């Protein structure tokens, strides 16, 4: 049998080889026999095969077409897997059945845009089990007032309930990655944790507030294009001091601020 292709540095490929970690990931996914799984980055298929044993259907999306023969050999005899080659960022999530479970070893270089894409498909996805860079995982669960708290924390917790599951050592991969990894579970909320009148404005408000992390909230919003004559009344109505910094605000306060900015815009 031909040897699998060598890992590609340009794709930052590090393949999971530890079967115990595979078992822990499958356990964290808590799959039911009637569920569909979307796996992003099946690599050499070690996790894919285990997922197929637990779920009704597995859709595995792989960017690297050179892994085709390796995956075909690893998944030989399995009839409930659909292997697709392409960019996961272009995957049509609207085609997924409701209640899909996502299990993925996300490419670390594009983990944040992939996560936001998946959370935007909240009407299709029930939960996610993701292998992430440990630093990113900490940001997902961070609380206000901590150094890890920021845009990723708020926009993730707005749509999901994230939880750190377990750490994965570098020795569980070939080749060994230079960063630490953590598996995170995210239970997708049926409704956002806070009510906002204008979701794009809420997202813009959060991003603008953290755009200049060392600046005050007022200055950061102003520098990101919000009219000063709208910022001050909105902050006052939301009972937020203009001199506060973004990392001190809870999600509910960002929602209230965004709602007040939306009201100011409509005047």
Tokens found for residue 250: 């809870």
Q: What is the pTM of this model?
A: 0.94
Tens digit of pLDDT for each residue in 131-159?
999 999 999 999 999 999 999 999 999 99
Rg over alpha carbons for the chain, rounded to the nearest Å, is 21
Task: Phi first, then psi: give them for residue 34, nearest 5 degrees.
Answer: -100, 10
Q: Is the pLDDT of residue 1 over 60?
A: no
CA torsion, points 228, 158, 98, 164, in degrees to nearest 10? 140
Tokens found for residue 211: 């755009």
Tens digit of pLDDT for each residue in 241-257?
999 999 999 999 999 99
CA dist 82 and 75 (Å) reads 10
pLDDT on residue 48: 98
pLDDT grade for 224, boundaries at 50, 70 and 90: very high
pLDDT on residue 2: 60
User: Greatest CA span in the chain, whole angstroms?
Assistant: 70
Task: Give SS3 for 32.
Answer: coil
pLDDT on residue 267: 65
Q: Please state, rounded to an integer, the average pLDDT across all residues of the chain.
A: 95
pLDDT grade for 106, boundaries at 50, 70 and 90: confident
The arithmetic mean of pLDDT across residues 62-80, rounded, is: 95
Q: Is the pLDDT of residue 107 over 90?
A: no
- Are 49 and 75 spatial neighbours (Cβ–Cβ below 8 Å)? yes
Enumerate domains of the chain plus CATH numbers.
Answer: 9-188 (3.40.50.150), 199-266 (1.10.8.100)
- Mutual orientation of helices 228-237 and 251-266 as an angle, nearest 10°? 130
- Paired with 61 in beta bridges are 40, 84
- Helix or strand (DSSP H, E) at 54: helix 46-54
Locus of tokens 């990655």: 177
The arithmetic mean of pLDDT across residues 84-104, rounded, is: 97
CA dist 200 and 213 (Å) reads 21
pLDDT on residue 265: 81
CA dist 94 and 97 (Å) reads 8
The arithmetic mean of pLDDT across residues 117-136, rounded, is: 97
By DSSP bridging, strand 125-133 and strand 181-188 are antiparallel
Tokens found for residue 249: 């605000």
């Amino acid at each position: 049998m031909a040897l699998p292709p060598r890992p590609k540095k340009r794709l930052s490929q590090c393949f999971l080889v530890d079967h115990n970690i595979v078992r822990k990931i499958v356990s964290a996914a808590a799959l039911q026999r009637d569920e569909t799984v979307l796996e992003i980055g099946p690599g050499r298929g070690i996790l894919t095969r285990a997922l197929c044993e637990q779920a009704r259907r597995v859709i595995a999306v792989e960017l690297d077409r050179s892994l085709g023969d390796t995956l075909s050999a690893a998944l030989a005899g399995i009839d409930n897997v659909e292997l697709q080659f392409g960019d996961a960022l272009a995957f049509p999530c609207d085609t997924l059945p409701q209640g899909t479970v996502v299990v993925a070893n996300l490419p670390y270089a594009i983990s944040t845009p992939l996560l936001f894409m998946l959370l935007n498909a909240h009407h299709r996805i029930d939960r996610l089990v993701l292998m992430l860079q440990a630093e990113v995982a900490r940001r997902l669960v961070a609380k206000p007032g901590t150094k890890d708290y920021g845009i990723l924390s708020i926009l993730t917790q707005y749509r999901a309930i994230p939880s750190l599951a377990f750490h994965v050592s570098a020795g569980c991969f070939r080749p060994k990655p230079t960063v630490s990894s953590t598996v995170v579970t995210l239970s997708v909320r049926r409704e956002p944790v806070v009510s906002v009148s204008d979701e794009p404005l809420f997202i813009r408000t959060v991003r603008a507030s953290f755009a200049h992390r060392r600046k005050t909230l007022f200055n950061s919003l102003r520098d990101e294009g919000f009219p000063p004559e709208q910022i001050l009344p909105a902050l006052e109505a939301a009972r937020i001091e203009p001199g506060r910094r973004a990392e001190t605000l809870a999600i509910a306060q960002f929602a209230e601020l965004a709602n007040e900015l939306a009201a100011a815009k409509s005047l």
